[in-house]
Amino acid sequence: MMKRNLFLTATFLFLIISGCHFPVKETAESKTSEAFPAGCWGVYNYWVNDWNVNSNIRESCPLIKGVGITIRWKDVEPEPGVFKFDELIGEKLKLVDAGNMYTWLMIWVAPSAPRWLYENGVPEVQMYKSVTPLGEPRDWSYQYYLNEDYIRFHHRLLNEFGQYIRSLPLNLQKRILFVQSAEGSTGDGQPYKSTPIDTKYNISDEQWGDFRIKAWEVLKKALSNEKGEMVKPMLVNYDANGEEEYNWVKNNLSVIGLKNGMFSHGYQISDTRQRIKNWNNFKTEVNSLGKEFFSRGEQDGEWAVYGWSTQNREQGLYWSAIFATHCGLDMWNLPSEACIGYHYQDAINFFNKYAGQFDPASASAAFCALSKGLDAMDTVSYPENQFGAAKRSNIDRYLKIMEAFKDHGAMQGDPQKAIGSGMVNRKANDYNDVGWGIADGNFCRFLTQIDPEGTSTGWWHVGPRESIYGRFARSFDVKNKKNSMYFDLDDHFLSATGKAEIKVKIIWLDKGYGEWSLLYDAKNKPGKTALTVKNSDTGKWVEKSIMINDALLQNSCEKGADFILKNLSEENTIFHIIEIEKSN
């Protein structure tokens, strides 16, 4: 698997923002999208082949932006050369159009291959038994992808698929945002989800990469009109790409889409820092080529099964939304259960609010969700002579780090899951606050905390257990003379509007009787007081919004800040989030 572990060869450096590892601070020159309709990005459902065309999706799922249409090969081509695209896709497109929603299209080729393949020369590959991410038995067989007959049938399917899309009426075609190329198992980038019993059916990384690229070439041509222009962008899987695959998409696509599951399955995921760095190096390179980038990721069913979320499912989905936003996904796909009604509106509305907004000049809002990640990989904050050897498998190190922050709520309830990959992390049956290479600072976009460790202290699991907010937080620390938190708003955020009016929202824990103020960089008065709060010890999370109509925000406050939370008492106040919204 060495090739798959070789990430991008881009030479662009990842911009490390103090206290927030959101990678690239967008500039006012960022281009608006020409490939996608305005406001299309956000939360989408991802039913597979089974949503009822007689139902009113807009009525039952009022908050989502759309729903994907995924069909199985065995259903769309039940007999060789007999295609049922219109029956499986056409009626659903009409429903999407009627609901003023959007969709994307994908065909699962495995393990949903039609049985007739095996009657026409394609070997059926038997696998060792395995389990799904939900722990259910998986006893699947697969087609042998490298068989010449299979390649011929597969390419025919892709050709027919592209021709069908190009033949659609314009009103329905406009509802399709992109087409995902799904060469492997359940739309993922790998051929198998287990190991072939017969080793002759093993597929090397190089063989699989070549197979995928040839499929992309066929699909690209099938989606292209007589002028050679693709009528719809193509999205490919991120998790199986090597250098050759990345070079192909950069050289052959003008609009480049990637699926990244590790940004969408939760919020406490191993290797997040490196993954974000690699991801955004690639985005930077794509943008430097004058090309457009987009992405999606799926929150799978483990959210409703494992203890890291089931102890407070609303909280689990809410912080997953914040994490997916922080990582930069355009589309976040949720299970149908989470999309119905308003029960999970906090998560859905949060992601929808920021989705697709990567240009601060045109963005409607900015946020900084205050958090601290305990990264066992960090030997500066957690020296090996005190916490033990910095090895991923060294559970004792994780536990010692947790103990150091236990008085602020840190937990390590399922230590064995914390040392695994992202696919293992998401199966944790309890909260794990120490991880390997996890995001170790705030989650944010366009609003960053200046020197968070030097000016505040982290908290975990604070406030009422039923609340969504207290999974992570930060506070003043009177004992260590940390009485002011400083925040920098992207300099381009207000530059395009020329206006000085904004709305600031703060959510904090009303515990104790501490007093604090919000200061901001105002015209002719750096450090002007926007509001002062005296806590009343209700023990509840409190939300407060205030309009400011004389904002300058040119870093004129202390430490070059645009906003300051200032403690006015000898008690600490704990904060969840600060959001800045432009006036309409």
The DSSP secondary structure of 8-59, one letter per residue, reads: ----PPP-PBTTB-------TTPPPPSSS-TT--EEEE--BS---TTS-HHH
- The two tokens of residue 447 are 């609003």
At 452, the amino acid letter reads P
Distance (Å, whole) CA 353 – CA 418:
31
Instruction: Decide: helix, strand or coil at residue 561.
Output: coil
Question: How large is the C-alpha radius of gyration of the chain?
Answer: 25
Can you give the pLDDT at residue 4? 40
- The two tokens of residue 373 are 């990640």
Distance (Å, whole) CA 6 – CA 247:
13
What are the boundaries of each domain within the chain?
A: 3-9+39-357, 374-582
Is residue 268 within 8 A of residue 415, CB to CB? The reply is no
Contacts of 87 (CB under 8 A, 6+ apart): none
Q: What is the 3-state secondary structure (H, E, C) of 500-516?
A: CCEEEEEEEECCCCCEE
Q: Which residues pair with 509 in a beta bridge?
A: 541, 574
Can you give the pLDDT at residue 239? 73
pTM of the predicted model, to two decimals? 0.92
Distance (Å, whole) CA 474 – CA 372:
8
* Residue 196 CB neighbour total at 10 angstroms: 18
Q: Which CATH number fits domain 3-9+39-357: 3.40.1010.20, 3.90.1200.10, 3.30.565.10, 3.20.20.80?
A: 3.20.20.80
Largest Cα separation within the chain, whole Å, is: 80
Distance (Å, whole) CA 398 – CA 418:
8
Tens digit of each residue's pLDDT (9 = 90 or more) over 340-395: 999 999 999 999 999 999 999 999 999 999 999 999 999 999 999 999 999 999 99
For domain 374-582, the CATH class is mainly beta
Can you give the pLDDT at residue 157? 98
Cβ burial, residue 215 (10 Å; 0-12/13-18/19+): buried
All residue ranges of the chain with pLDDT < 50 are: 1-32
Distance (Å, whole) CA 68 – CA 57:
12
Can you give the pLDDT at residue 1? 37
Cβ burial, residue 24 (10 Å; 0-12/13-18/19+): middle
Distance (Å, whole) CA 575 – CA 510:
9
Tens digit of each residue's pLDDT (9 = 90 or more) over 471-484: 999 999 999 999 99
Can you give the pLDDT at residue 574? 98
Which string of DSSP letters, residue by residue, matches 511-557?
A: -SS-EEEEEEEETTEEEEEEEEEE-----SEEEEEEEESSB--SS-S
Peptide bond into 111 cis (omega under 30): yes
- DSSP H helices, 199-335, are 205-222, 243-252, 272-288, 307-310, 313-327
Which of 536, 501, 530 lies closest to 517, judged by CA? 530
Distance (Å, whole) CA 271 – CA 273:
6
Q: Which residue has the tokens 């065995």?
A: 74
- The two tokens of residue 484 are 């002011």
* Residue 110 CB neighbour total at 10 angstroms: 23
Distance (Å, whole) CA 522 – CA 130:
60
